[in-house]
Chains A and B, each alone.
Chain A
């Protein structure tokens, strides 16, 4: 079956630190990969996506590269801000008609 594994949180960083949140996946076929962000009490917002191997998704200073050889899609940001504090979910889907499979989420806490 399909699955997504994320590093456990919380990840605690000081403002302007470098961020990496690891994500690996198992899938039957060639998935599209996503990072969603969830702020407290809210729904999920799409952060970035990549649809094929070696694609790099980027948005708001966050980046992730689709690595087929390591089945990974790690999220990175060069300099985090307090406003980045949220829960980050890695997810995959096998086609436009299938459901999203999510990881358990990683909480990021950024202090001033």
Chain B
């Protein structure tokens, strides 16, 4: 069990550019969640996968956001045409046989 990993840890981009983040869950965890955390706030749910199926999406997930989990292993979160309001920490969590979510270290996005 190597824990949840995320890449990159930090990303600085210019407004209007596209960015993609990757999450590798704990091996054999079939559920994977993405959250967004802004400064001084708790994480807010974005989307959730069970295996390769995306089962739930938050209203926060505008059409500029897309997430995938091919083959039910790692997941990617892409943001197109980034805006300054997208600046946040993007957190990934995975769940196995219990209801406990294990979080990765996060990707901090700064949009200039």
Contacts and interface: CB of A to CB of B under 8 A. Distances in A.
A100 B43 CA distance: 9
A37 to B, nearest CB: 11
Interface residues of B, number: 27
Given A43-B103, A45-B103, A96 B98 contact: yes
Contacts of B41: 104-105
Given A95-B99, A99-B33, A43 B106 contact: yes
A95 to B, nearest CB: 7
Contact of B42 (A41, A49, A89, A97): A89
B42 A42 contact: no
Interface residues of A, number: 25
A64 B2 CA distance: 28
A42 B106 contact: yes
A27 interface: no
B42 A105 contact: yes
B48 A104 contact: no
B53 to A, nearest CB: 12
B99 A93 contact: yes
B42 A102 contact: yes
Contacts of A99: 33, 45, 48, 56
B100 A102 contact: no
B104 A96 contact: no
A49 B106 contact: no
A91 B105 contact: no
Interface in A57-112: 89, 91, 93, 95-97, 99-105
Given A32-B99, A44-B91, A96-B98, A91 B42 contact: yes
Interface string B41-72: 11111001010000010000000000000000
Interface of A: 4, 32, 34, 36, 41-46, 49, 51, 89, 91, 93, 95-97, 99-105
A-B pairs with lowest CB-CB distance, top 3 = A102-B42, A96-B99, A99-B45
